[in-house]
Structures are given as C-alpha cells and as structure tokens.
Amino acid sequence: MRIIAALTDFGLQDPYVGMMKAVAKKLCAEVEVIDLTHEIPKYNVLWGSHVLRISRRYFPKGTVFLGVVDPGVGGKRKAVIIEGLEGGIYVGPDNGLLYPVADDEGIKAAYEIIPLKAGLHEISRTFHGRDIFMPAASLIACGVSPSSLGVSLNIAKLVKAPKYPVPPKARGDIIEVDVLYVDSFGNIVTSTDGKYLQADLNISKGSKVQVSVDGRFWREGIYGETFSDASVGDLVLYEGSYGLLEIGVNQGNAAELLKPKAKIFLKAPAR
C-alpha cells in the first residue's frame, strides 16, 4: 500500500476534497490518502510549497505527494509528475509548488502529464485536482510507472520557488521581513529565522526586540524560545514549528494586535 499526502487550498466547505478522495479509492482501492492540509490560503503557492517541504520528513519513503494550489488551472502551466531520488513522487501544477520539496530530496526525473493517459475521461477546465492530478497520483500509488503517464520534461525547465528562510532586507538598524502566513492562533509566520535576527540586530535569546507594521509605530517584544518567555499578553518572537521566525502573543493573538499586512519591521531597542 502507498500513501498519498494531499495538500490543497480548497478548504472543506465544498465537495472538492471528498470528490478527489473518492477518485483515489475508485482507481486504487488500497491507497491511503492523508490530508496534510486543505487550508492553504487561496492561491498562495509559496506557502503551500513551504508546508510541503517541511512535511516531507514525517512521511514514509515512497509517499506520493499531491499538491494542488493552482491559480493557473486550465491555462498554459504544465501538469507534472516529479520523481525524487529517494522514491518520493510529487504530482501537481508546475508553478513552483512542488519544486522546493522535490529539490530537497533530489530530482531523478520529471514528466509532463498527458491528461488522456493519467486523467479521467471527462476533464474539467477548472478542476484538475479531481480529473488529472488525483488520478495520476492514485495510479502511481497502485504501481503504475510515472513515465507511462506523461512525456519526459527537462528538469532545468521546472518552475522554481524560493526556499525559506531567506535573509531579511536591512535598512540601517531596521530589518524588513515578509509575512508568509497567519495561523489559526493569530501567530504571524515570517520569511526569515532566528539566525538572521541574531546576526542583523546583534541580539540573543531573552533580548528585547521592537516590532512595527509600518516602520513608524513600534511595540516591544521578547526574542525567546516559546510563548511563556513573555508575560501574558506580551509579544514574543520565536522559531516555530514551520522552521521560521514567528511573532506571537502569550495567550493572545498577534495578528489582531498588530494587524500585519505584507511586511513586518524589526529593530533592537536603543542602547
């Protein structure tokens, strides 16, 4: 039996995920579909790619990873299968979603899916997750060779996406980081990590950090290891389970407090 790890931005309100899982069972009764998440923010390919990348290590070798965050569905973007050097298989749109996780494993081969070989007979222009990607993933899970479902694709031509963490942008004594995600607790996940914070601001664990969403109005927080390093209701900066620097509030909601947009600014308090 092989596992399909499914990640999408579909949410659970509509029947889309259920339809995909039904297709999987229809084509490969023995397959187990694990719902990694279906709550990737709509169209956020970069965040989806990061979640896939950090999740791979927890799955058995040979897992088929199905990623569908596909704002270009029905357009010119390719539908692809990527084979990893350690047996992982990655199925989804060629828009950068799959590249970081596959590249971490090492890429053995890539194929552009031929829908009539891999998909259902009736293919919707707007639901390739059900009609192309899940059928391809399910057939592979049941032993079909990826090479039989498409044509060989030059690995160098796969669409790439950045791997996080990335260095922040420095502006004098201020660093600027991107807001990648806000989780259900209101913790703000940024594009960088603690080593850059320590190097660029010359601070260490337990130090105070000033945080701003506009570069003008500043709030003070603590750079720590977990929420309880700050007093209840206070800001704390820490490296979270996504492997990135996060901004939270001890027993509170940082997103409601700060109301972040695309950027966060950080600086060390004046000495």
Report the 10 Å Cβ neighbour count for 30.
10
Whether 152 and 212 share a structural domain: no
Share of the chain above pLDDT 70, in %: 99
Domain count for the chain: 2
- When pLDDT is cut at 50, 70 and 90, the band that residue 102 belongs to is very high
Tokens encoding 71: 């704002």
Domain's final residue, options 106, 125, 157: 157
The mean pLDDT value for 110-133 works out to 91
Position of tokens 């420095």? Answer: 170
Q: Are strands 174-182 and 235-239 parallel, antiparallel or unpaired?
A: unpaired
- First vs last C-alpha separation in the chain: 60
Which two tokens mark 165? Answer: 């963490």
Q: Establish if 231 belongs to a structural domain.
A: yes
What amino acid occupies position 50? H
Closest CA to 66 of 95, 97, 43, 27: 97
Is 162 domain-assigned?
no
Does 165 sit behind a cis peptide bond, omega within 30 degrees of 0 on the bond before it? yes
Q: Across the chain, what does the average pLDDT equal? A: 95
Spatial distance between the Cα atoms of 28 and 36, rounded to a whole number of angstroms: 19
Same domain, 137 and 190: no
Q: Are strands 79-84 and 89-93 parallel, antiparallel or unpaired?
A: antiparallel
**163 occurs within a structural domain:** no
194/117 same-domain check: no
Q: Residue 46: which CATH number?
A: 3.40.50.10790
Q: In this structure, is residue 41 part of a structural domain?
A: yes
Q: What tokens does 1 get?
A: 């039996």
How many Å apart are CA 214 and CA 58, to the nearest integer?
38
Q: Taking 70 as the threshold, does the pLDDT of residue 1 lie above it? A: no
Statement: residue 181 has pLDDT above 90: yes
Give the pLDDT band (50/70/90) at residue 271: low
Whether 145 and 187 map to the same domain: the answer is no
**Do 194 and 80 fall within a single domain?**
no
User: What pLDDT is recorded for position 216?
Assistant: 87
Q: What are phi and psi of 37, to 5 degrees?
A: -170, 150
Mean pLDDT, residues 57-69: 96
Which class for 172: exposed (0-12), middle (13-18), buried (19 or more C-beta within 10 A)?
exposed
Instruction: Indicate whether 224 and 250 sit together in one domain.
Output: yes
Q: Are residues 148 and 237 in the same domain?
A: no
In this predicted structure, the answer to whether residue 9 has a pLDDT above a threshold of 90 is yes
Assign residue 197 the CATH number of its domain. 2.40.30.90
Residue 257 lies in a domain: yes
Q: What is the pLDDT of residue 121?
A: 78
Query: Domain check: are 150 and 175 in the same one?
Result: no
User: Tens digit of pLDDT for each residue in 191-227?
Assistant: 999 999 898 888 899 999 999 999 889 999 999 999 9
What type of residue is 153?
Answer: L
Question: Which of 31-45, 99-113, 206-220 is the least confident region?
Answer: 206-220
Q: Are residues 192 and 111 in the same domain?
A: no
Looking at the structure, tell me whether residues 18 and 78 fall in a common domain: yes
According to DSSP, the β-strands at 219-223 and 235-239 are parallel
Residue 95 inside a domain? The answer is: yes
- Residue 142 CA to residue 31 CA, distance in Å, equals 7
Q: Give yes or no: residues 231 and 210 share one domain.
A: yes
Residue numbers of the domain that contains 107: 3-157
Does any domain span residue 259?
yes
Out of 122, 157, 192, pick the residue that ends a domain: 157
Is the domain of 81 the same as that of 199? no
172 pLDDT tier (thresholds 50, 70, 90): confident
Sign of CA dihedral 236, 46, 84, 146: positive
Contact 138, 28 (CB under 8 A): yes
Last residue of a domain, one of 101, 132, 157: 157
The amino acid at residue 116 is: L
